[in-house]
Amino acid sequence: MIKVGIIGATGYAGNELVRLLLQHREAQIIWYGSRSYIEKPYADVYRNMFQLVEEKCFDDNIEELANSADVIFTATPQGYCASMMNDNILSKTKIVDLSADFRIKDVKTYEAWYKIEHKSPQYLEEAVYGLCEINRDKIKNARLVANPGCYPTCSFLSVYPLIKEGVIDANTIIIDAKSGTSGAGRGAKVDNLFCEVNENIKAYGVGVHRHTPEIEEQFSYQAGFPVFINFTPHLVPMNRGILVTAYASLKKQRKEEELREIYQNYYKEEKFVRFLEQGICPETRWVEGSNFVDVNIKVDIRTNRVIMMGAMDNLVKGAAGQAIQNMNLMFGLKETEGLLQVPMFP
Amino acid sequence: MIKVGIIGATGYAGNELVRLLLQHREAQIIWYGSRSYIEKPYADVYRNMFQLVEEKCFDDNIEELANSADVIFTATPQGYCASMMNDNILSKTKIVDLSADFRIKDVKTYEAWYKIEHKSPQYLEEAVYGLCEINRDKIKNARLVANPGCYPTCSFLSVYPLIKEGVIDANTIIIDAKSGTSGAGRGAKVDNLFCEVNENIKAYGVGVHRHTPEIEEQFSYQAGFPVFINFTPHLVPMNRGILVTAYASLKKQRKEEELREIYQNYYKEEKFVRFLEQGICPETRWVEGSNFVDVNIKVDIRTNRVIMMGAMDNLVKGAAGQAIQNMNLMFGLKETEGLLQVPMFP
Amino acid sequence: MIKVGIIGATGYAGNELVRLLLQHREAQIIWYGSRSYIEKPYADVYRNMFQLVEEKCFDDNIEELANSADVIFTATPQGYCASMMNDNILSKTKIVDLSADFRIKDVKTYEAWYKIEHKSPQYLEEAVYGLCEINRDKIKNARLVANPGCYPTCSFLSVYPLIKEGVIDANTIIIDAKSGTSGAGRGAKVDNLFCEVNENIKAYGVGVHRHTPEIEEQFSYQAGFPVFINFTPHLVPMNRGILVTAYASLKKQRKEEELREIYQNYYKEEKFVRFLEQGICPETRWVEGSNFVDVNIKVDIRTNRVIMMGAMDNLVKGAAGQAIQNMNLMFGLKETEGLLQVPMFP
Amino acid sequence: MIKVGIIGATGYAGNELVRLLLQHREAQIIWYGSRSYIEKPYADVYRNMFQLVEEKCFDDNIEELANSADVIFTATPQGYCASMMNDNILSKTKIVDLSADFRIKDVKTYEAWYKIEHKSPQYLEEAVYGLCEINRDKIKNARLVANPGCYPTCSFLSVYPLIKEGVIDANTIIIDAKSGTSGAGRGAKVDNLFCEVNENIKAYGVGVHRHTPEIEEQFSYQAGFPVFINFTPHLVPMNRGILVTAYASLKKQRKEEELREIYQNYYKEEKFVRFLEQGICPETRWVEGSNFVDVNIKVDIRTNRVIMMGAMDNLVKGAAGQAIQNMNLMFGLKETEGLLQVPMFP
């Protein structure tokens, strides 16, 4: 049994880690970390866990936790994980960081977009970007995995085969993304009240959203040169789900079938990426509660652009599910262990 | 492996059966019956099942199916199951009927409330009312189980200990129930369009809802005399969930603690009924996707009434989950097999 | 032009006052009071008001405001209005208090349910309960009007004709009410976040909700003796709307037609109470944005009870609309001025 | 009093026409046309109109109606209006067609995208595209106005100043639009059921949506050359509202301030277009129920693109409100008559 500690267990991503890990046959949660609810029974914070979790919340003592946990998930605000990281911890336990601290290799880029100082840049090189579909082998041997952001996961998997294959002009990529409200977290803010979100749609962080450089970095690796994109997230009145609608110009005219073959090739072995049948648009309802990303494309010959679409549950493949997928790889388990939930509809 | 046939697999309850059975270790679906989608791939009707279900939908041939299936779930309109039932079928397979056809013992009551003729009243006596928490032993040996209605399940489990113990005056019971919209089915009706249901709450079927006699019959068994109640369902703009708020007069003044002990006693061995801590109201969000029913009570000494509350996922414990719980009992499996999904929030 | 000051203009009820008053031909807002947003442009707090309201928010200076305003609406937390009230203010201006401070005549009851000391009980006798349909004449001459609570307004108008006429046993009344989330206010609380409210229904304040004694007091006046009821509010995932489902035992058997005549008689002159056709249930969607209360009843001869139902927009007839209706009466205007918005659907 | 006939009064746009016209001081509805509800009281189809509309629905007799109505609104399926149009009608009454029949000047384009034959192309030249902000003068003298589509209205007003001024490369325009569900109409389809739309977001009509050529035509007029765009609509789980997020490359680097000045210039006299303050994103909640379009832009110097955003109520400015704005112009009334509803929030 893998002993798991969660720091930040009372956010939505933390609660989703708990939900999934309770159904994982090889893992056991030994620490429910939460600064806000110290000593409070976890099931009082999330009553879905009544009679399922008996433990109380503990303070965020990562040093102590490193002694007993085989792996620690940090589902914490930006800056926390970097500020706590040291050799002692990494020598005793593995870390899957759900924050952005170790996702971006260039510390200046991180600091410019996140507006905070990075407290342990010395680990950036070692940290593995935990997008299992592309870094599977590196993850297996990693001590420190940077779990990708929700938007970057969905954006990347929707787009990257066409970058990698040089089919699209990478600097024409525009990503228009839409997310459910759980992505905004459980903090008590007026902007996230029911009456403010319900019956509304809005763009936010236009031109300045922090997931932009993360996506660009990963796209750049695939392209082989620096890629700059437009990324516009929107808030949708639903609990879960991310939909990505991405646009790019084709370098030369292509038939949709050709591009479909590329995707089929890239994803034929991938359990969690479902490349849909021609003409079917991904929809968030079809992946809810599961670790699937549904992907499809449409070529518009009138404008010589391709529209690439992806749908995903932001709390599963976009956070807790992918973190567990990483854990499975790091511990030599079957990659799908604990992650085969059938999407729940409606 | 238990071979399962589903007739009515393309309704919401049918799809939920599929979701749960795909995660059941001892059962395998061999027949996706659907009159509306014959020859259509099941995953084209419910795209959450893409790559998970390869089969097509078949016509509703219960006679043929009885030859190959160990158990048949009928998630069909009222009247269908009764019209098809015969000795041949029952001699070859087991039936869990999710419709109302065999729930009410008195054929006249059935016909009066459902406004249709009952085509096989000869099986009413044999049929077992599949509320596992009270009929567990009978279900184990049953050939034909009448899976309870969603409202009756939640109403019964919220109220019956106080009837059975003679604490409340059963003829003062008023049940005010609220349901998510999946309970209205997947039929294309103006009344169930998004814009009609969203941003609205309404009562419906006031005084004439068909679940009334079903609840009354079960209450009467517990009381030992005929019980008549008021039952008012409401439609709530959410996908899943039923909340029951029930009221009854106490025969004599009682402390809440006394009544709590009764519930604790009744439910201490029940895996799927969670009697909550004092002061905590059941909420549908805490049971979504799971087979749990959360129950609690509040005594109002000012009026000498008790308010009994229950929350449940109408598609799981209120339909597909309970059907599988019945199947587990009928086949000597562990009652919880395939039903330990942790409630998903948010 | 009536000069109107609003104290508490940045809550949801305050914003609704602004919306309605901007469309009122005889009133003009001169003061947007808000403790939380002093000096901030009102349209920065509610961007629906962009280019419609140029003013900034002011501090809550009721003494100063009394010098210039013809009427002050206090849409403030419990206790504020009572704490500020004095002869000087009442000699200069009229007050419509949207809080509960002056609704309950018995100061001990107020203090017991609201858990705060009443700071100006000397004005309780003078204050008029502003339910226009029953206190129209008193309101016309009032200096201080206690605007009724949202639940009490809807509950009262749904039920009182049958109490007044002695048709029902008033002490059997049970009110099961459901409200949209705007009723919970704009405070930043985890419980009111989108993800907590959406896809959920719950009861709250069971047995202890503060609107209970307000309803009971008004019912008692109609009955002529003390009435005690059960009142259970529920939170529904929608922005606006209250639905009341009330139950009571008939003193003797009655035909529905008889009871319908009573309602028709009571409401035939009432512009804002719509007694629906037989068999039609009130629904919140049909009154949204308007000052209407839709009411109907159903007699259940099986249990000899009557179910009384009402639907209303909690921010209009349940708050701002009724406040303006009171203002109209107090200033001798047409009662419907500024309140003839057609309900908006969908 | 202008006598108004509505053909297609029982769709959502028709009901919105009724809501707005009931509050219009110079117009009176004399005909509630509906093929589906002939002889049924209008208020039985839309119960918000109870006691407000006494009339029954009539069959769609446009010839008869032309004799008595000063203006006819056709809120009908594509093809209807074109199939009925003739000189006799146009000589007797004015027409505002809310369908697409007369929006596109090129009949081949119309027929290619709508897949139906145009039955009266002879009126295409005469028909005026009823986007009041650009065709105000032509509308004043028009007999036949083609009321613009919802997406085109919002897209056009968000983007056109920068096309007209030659600031952006018009053939790089990508429009990613999001609409509430009322845009899908009141037809009983499984895809529009509450449980299918709720908790979901999807793109639809990717590359083939019929509003594409309408937008392109209007853009082309502004550009002076043929413009081709990508237009992708999405369905959002809310009742009302359209949000447009549009992207285009700047011909040369520009400061945001320069572009803001262009918009300010274009819209300073426009009552219904609100160009927002810098940094504020349009949101559908701030325009709900009103005829406003909120517009703003953001320049991204990293990619040298501009993001243009617009929010609008699809049933008001996107349908019924704009139709009435057209009527006001056609009859020499104040353009804002009956259209000054303050946006309703929440």
Q: What is the pLDDT of residues D301-315, one digit of tens each?
A: 999 999 999 999 999
Whats the size of chain C, residue-wise?
346
The structure tokens listed for D65 are 């109606």
Tokens representing C275 are 């007694």
- What's the pLDDT score for residue A60? 85
- The per-residue b/e assignment along B203-242, b for 16 or more CB within 10 angstroms, e otherwise, is beebbebbbbbbbbbbbbbbbeeebbbbbbbbbbbbbbbb
* pLDDT tier, A103 (very low <50, low <70, confident <90, very high otherwise): very high
List of chain B residues with pLDDT < 50: none
Task: Please indicate whether, in this complex, the C-beta atoms of D196 and B198 are within 8 angstroms of each other.
Answer: no
Q: Which residue of chain B comes nearest to A43, CA vs CA?
A: B286
Helix, strand or coil, per DSSP, at residue D139: helix
Over the range A48-71, which residues count as b (16 or more CB within 10 Å of their CB) and which as e?
Answer: bbbebbeebbbebebeebbeebbb
Distance CA B34, CA B56 (A): 10
Give this complex's ipTM.
0.97
Distance CA C271, CA C322 (A): 13
Q: Is-contact C24 C338, C-beta < 8 A?
A: yes
pLDDT (0 to 100) of residue C147: 98
Number of helices followed by number of strands (H, E) in chain C: 12, 13
Report cis status (omega within 30 of 0) of the bond before A346: yes
pLDDT at B208: 97
**pLDDT for position C293:** 98
- Give the residue-averaged pLDDT of A311-317: 98
Q: Residue D338's pLDDT is what?
A: 98
Cross-strand bridge partners of residue A283: D202
Chain A CB contacts of C194 below 8 Å? 181, 192-194, 196-198, 237, 239
Residues whose CB is less than 8 angstroms from the CB of residue D227 and which lie 6 or more positions away in sequence, other chains included: D163, D170, D171, D173, D216, D219, D220
The runs of H, that is alpha helices, within A31-127 are 42-45, 62-68, 80-84, 87-92, 107-114
Q: Select the residue of A199, A280, A344 nearest B19 (Cβ to Cβ).
A: A344
Cβ distance D283 to A201 less than 8 Å, yes or no, reads yes
Supply the pLDDT for residue B60.
85
Distance between CA B325 and CA C83 in Å, rounded? 59
Q: How confident is the model at residue D89 (pLDDT cuts 50, 70, 90)?
A: very high
* Catalytic residue of the set A150, A154, A195, A281: A150
> Helices B150-164 and B211-223 sit at what angle, rounded to 10 degrees?
20
What confidence score (pLDDT) does residue C60 get?
A: 85
Q: What is chain B's percent helix, strand, coil content, to nearest 5?
A: 35, 20, 40
What local confidence, expressed as pLDDT, does residue D60 receive? 85
**Residue A145 CB partners (closer than 8 Å, separation 6+):** A94, A95, A96, A97, A127, A128, A129, A130, A139, A326, A330
DSSP string, B317-337: IIIIHHHHHHHHHHTT--TTT
Q: Which residues of C fall within a CB distance of 8 Å from B158?
A: none
Counting one residue from chain C and one from chain D, the pairs whose CB atoms sit within 8 A come to 75
In chain C, which residues have their Cβ closer than 8 Å to the Cβ of D49? 342
b/e sequence C181-208, b meaning 16+ C-beta within 10 Å:
bbbbebeeeeebbbbbbbbbbbbeebbe
Helix A150-164 × helix A256-267 angle, to 10°: 120
Q: Average the pLDDT over A270-277 and give the result.
A: 98
Q: Which chains touch C (3 or more CB pairs under 8 A)?
A: A, B, D
Q: Check CB contact under 8 Å for D342 and C19.
A: yes
- Give the chain B residue nearest A12 (alpha carbons): B346
Note whether C188 contacts A186, CB cutoff 8 Å: no
Statement: the pTM of the whole predicted model exceeds 0.80: yes
How far apart (Å, rounded) are the C-alpha atoms in residues A177 and A205? 12
Interatomic CA distance for residues B279 and B284, integer angstroms: 16
Q: Cβ contact (<8 Å) for C238 and A189?
A: no
What is the Cα–Cα distance from D322 to A267, expressed in whole angstroms? 48
Please give the pLDDT value at position A296: 98
Residues of chain C scoring pLDDT < 50: none
Q: What percent of chain D has pLDDT over 90?
A: 99
Residues from chain D contacting residue A241 (CB–CB below 8 Å): 199-201
Per the DSSP assignment, residues forming a β-bridge with A308 are A246, A297
Whose CA is closest to D341, among B302, C290, A44, B303?
C290
Compare CB distances from D204 to A198, A281, A300 and report the shortest one's residue: A281
Q: How far away is chain D from the Cα of A231, in angstroms, using its nearest Cα?
A: 10
Specify the pLDDT at position A318: 98
For residue D240, the chain C residues in CB contact (below 8 A) are: 346
Cβ contact B194–D190 (<8 Å): no
pLDDT exceeds 90 at position A144: yes
Q: What share of chain C is helix, strand, coil (3-state, %, to 5)?
A: 35, 20, 40
For the question of residue D195 being annotated catalytic, the response is no
User: Per the omega criterion (within 30 degrees of 0), is the bond before A282 cis?
Assistant: no
Q: Which two tokens stand for residue D244?
A: 């447009």
C-alpha distances out from residue A306 to A296, A297, D225, Å: 10, 7, 23
Determine the average pLDDT of the residues in D236-252. Answer: 98
Helix A107-114 × helix A211-223 angle, to 10°: 150
Catalytic-role residue among D150, D154, D195, D281: D150
What average pLDDT does range A51-75 have in this prediction?
A: 96
Query: Tokens 């009490």 map to which residue?
Result: C152
Q: Which of D47, D179, D284 should we substitute to test contact with C (largest number of C Cβ atoms within 10 Å)? A: D47
Residues in chain C whose beta carbon is closer than 8 A to a beta carbon of chain D? 12, 15, 18-19, 22-23, 46-52, 182, 199, 239-240, 274, 276, 280, 283, 285-290, 294, 340-346
CB contact under 8 A, B198 and D181: yes
CA–CA dist D142, D144 (Å, integer): 6
**Which residues of chain D make contact with B289, given a CB cutoff of 8 A?**
none
pLDDT for A158 equals: 98
Task: Answer whether B285's CB lies under 8 Å from C200's CB.
Answer: yes
C134 by DSSP, 3-state: which? Answer: helix
